């Protein structure tokens, strides 16, 4: 008996990374050795002290019951303390922090708290698909802001028309940026906060890659800006810096009303994060941060290895000091889908076509540095044999 899916699902394009898995599996079934540089999933294990903390917490029966909806107080306080150490920002865990089942969950649910049907969300593209998906699920309308190389992959939000702004409720930004690897300085956030305050707009900042950087200075948080707590919420995650993608632990931090609204949605949808996982996250935030810095250095080294092959193949690499992605400009006339298909079928390398992140991603491709150096050297050699 056929059942028709809801229109909100019919309106969605195929989820990008699920489609990549399908393509990879088809070629792999032919016996091809695939070097998977598609999905951004760290290949190194979680630091041992975090795993050990989980074991201790999971063995404690006190953690076997329902957790607090908004998160353990000790975890939220640890996040607030982390902001103090890392960014010089004073937050209160109980007021300004909400635990998330990974930042993706919070990003998807946030529009449900503050967006009415027909209202507008300003979304950067190329960008993480969930900004748009969460908007659609909430009945909102997405207005895309192109991220162009000539603008340093920064949105020209001031170019948004007055008619659109009259209906706009939320603007998303994401730095360090996925997929381009672009970064911003504090002035970018200062200007954005001032503009949003004048417009009475919510600024939602996705900072999931804030610690995956090898710059001399920490990447700024939007919450460093005076007045940001009036309009801003920042989403972050332990997934990338601590190699904890499968653990599903993140947070939202910022304006108290925004945190309360998100928490109200979550209390009606889920039952919070397993307390043992939050206690493991506490160990990550309060423990030795050298593993985080070591991973950032490793990604810089891996980037250099892969870049050699990309350049030899006649491709252009966009500069970056953050994330574990390499954003590559393709030769004129070569679509990102054609490039990714040829790369997979002729070289056994899986890369993400830039068009999958939005129209402005056309003409680019993204490589994730989630393989060991030996495999990246092999990928580099395979790339060098191709000419584009």
Over residues 102-136, the pLDDT tens digits come to 999 999 999 999 999 999 999 999 999 999 999 99
Query: Domain limits of the chain?
Result: 7-45+290-385, 48-286
Report pLDDT for 16: 67
Q: Is the pLDDT of residue 191 over 70?
A: yes
pLDDT bin (cut points 50, 70, 90) of residue 31 is confident
Cα 91 to chain centroid distance, Å, stands at 23
Residues 6+ apart with CB under 8 A from 165: 199, 201
Global confidence as pTM: 0.95
Among 186, 178, 205, residue whose Cα is nearest residue 322: 178
Residue listed under structure tokens 């091809």 = 32
Out of 8-12, 103-107, 199-203, 252-256, pick the least confident. 8-12
What is the overall mean pLDDT for the chain?
A: 95
Domain 7-45+290-385 is in which class?
Answer: alpha beta
48-286 matches 7-45+290-385 in CATH topology: no
Strands (E), the chain: 35-36, 97-100, 120-125, 141-146, 168-174, 202-206, 232-237, 250-254, 316-317, 325-329, 349-350, 352-353, 364-368
Residue listed under structure tokens 């060098």 = 384
Residue listed under structure tokens 């957790």 = 67
Q: Could you give the angle at the alpha carbon of 194 between the alpha carbons of 224 and 226, nearest 5°?
A: 30
Report pLDDT for 148: 98
Cα separation values, 21 from 37, 104, 171, 263, 327, Å:
11, 19, 30, 33, 20
Q: Is the pLDDT of residue 273 over 80?
A: yes
Write out the H or E segment, with its range, that includes residue 166. Answer: helix 162-167
Domain 48-286 is in which class?
Answer: alpha beta
Q: Is the pLDDT of residue 379 over 70?
A: yes
Ranges 14-18, 181-185, 215-219, most confident: 181-185
Report pLDDT for 20: 72
Report pLDDT for 299: 97
pLDDT, tens only, 306-315: 999 999 999 9
Q: Could you give the angle at the alpha carbon of 236 between the alpha carbons of 178 and 246, nearest 5°?
A: 85
Interatomic CA distance for residues 240 and 232, integer angstroms: 22
Report pLDDT for 9: 85
Interatomic CA distance for residues 295 and 289, integer angstroms: 10
Bridge partner residues of 124 (DSSP): 145
End-to-end CA separation in angstroms for the chain: 49
Average pLDDT in the 20-46 region? 87
Average pLDDT in the 12-24 region? 73
- Is-contact 360 125, C-beta < 8 A? yes
Interatomic CA distance for residues 61 and 92, integer angstroms: 28
Cα separation values, 76 from 60, 81, 94, 281, 291, Å:
20, 9, 7, 10, 22
Report pLDDT for 141: 97
Interatomic CA distance for residues 248 and 244, integer angstroms: 7
Average pLDDT in the 261-272 region? 96
pLDDT bin (cut points 50, 70, 90) of residue 388 is confident
Interatomic CA distance for residues 388 and 386, integer angstroms: 7
Average pLDDT in the 366-385 region? 95
Interatomic CA distance for residues 94 and 66, integer angstroms: 18
pLDDT bin (cut points 50, 70, 90) of residue 17 is low
Report pLDDT for 19: 72
Q: Is the pLDDT of residue 15 over 80?
A: no
- Is-contact 223 192, C-beta < 8 A? no
Query: What is the 3-class SS of 269-302, one letter each residue?
Result: HCCCCCHHHHHHHHHHHHCCCHHHHHHHHHHHHH
pLDDT bin (cut points 50, 70, 90) of residue 227 is very high
Length of the chain: 388
3-class DSSP assignment, residue 6: coil
pLDDT, tens only, 283-312: 999 999 999 999 999 999 999 999 999 999
Average pLDDT in the 7-28 region? 77
DSSP class per residue in 215-245:
SSSPPPPGGGSTTGGGTEEEEEESTTTTT-G
């Amino acid at each position: 008996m056929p059942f028709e899916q809801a229109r909100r699902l019919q309106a969605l394009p195929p989820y990008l990374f699920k489609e990549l898995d399908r393509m990879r599996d088809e070629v792999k079934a032919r016996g091809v050795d695939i070097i998977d540089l598609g999905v951004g999933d760290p290949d190194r294990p979680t630091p041992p002290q975090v795993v050990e903390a989980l074991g201790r917490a999971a063995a404690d029966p006190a953690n076997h019951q329902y957790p607090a909806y908004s998160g353990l107080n000790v975890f939220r306080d640890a996040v607030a303390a982390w902001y103090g150490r890392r960014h010089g920002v004073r937050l209160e865990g109980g007021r300004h922090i909400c635990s998330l089942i990974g930042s993706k969950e919070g990003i998807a649910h946030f529009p449900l708290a503050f967006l009415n049907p027909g209202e507008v969300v300003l979304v950067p593209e190329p960008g993480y698909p969930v900004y748009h998906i969460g908007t659609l699920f909430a009945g909102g309308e997405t207005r895309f802001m192109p991220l162009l190389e000539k603008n340093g992959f920064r949105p020209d939000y001031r170019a948004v028309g007055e008619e659109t702004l009259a209906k706009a409720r939320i603007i998303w930004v994401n730095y360090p940026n996925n997929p381009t690897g672009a970064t911003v300085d504090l002035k970018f956030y200062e200007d954005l906060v001032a503009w949003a305050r004048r417009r009475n707009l919510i600024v939602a900042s996705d900072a999931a890659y804030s610690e995956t950087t090898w710059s001399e200075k920490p990447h700024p948080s939007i919450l460093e800006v005076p007045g940001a707590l009036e309009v801003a919420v920042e989403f972050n995650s332990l997934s990338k810096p601590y190699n904890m993608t499968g653990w599903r632990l993140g947070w939202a931090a910022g304006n108290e009303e925004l945190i309360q609204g998100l928490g109200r949605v979550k209390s009606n949808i889920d039952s919070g994060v397993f307390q043992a996982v939050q206690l493991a996250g506490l160990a990550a935030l309060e423990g030795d941060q050298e593993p985080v810095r070591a991973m950032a250095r490793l990604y810089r080294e891996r980037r250099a290895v892969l870049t050699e092959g990309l350049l030899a193949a006649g491709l252009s690499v966009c500069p970056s000091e953050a994330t574990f992605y390499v954003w590559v400009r393709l030769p004129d006339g070569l679509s990102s889908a054609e490039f990714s298909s040829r790369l997979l079928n002729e070289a056994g390398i899986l890369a993400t076509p830039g068009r999958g992140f939005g129209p402005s991603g056309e003409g680019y491709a993204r490589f994730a540095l989630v393989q060991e150096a030996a495999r990246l050297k092999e990928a580099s050699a395979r790339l060098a044999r191709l000419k584009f």
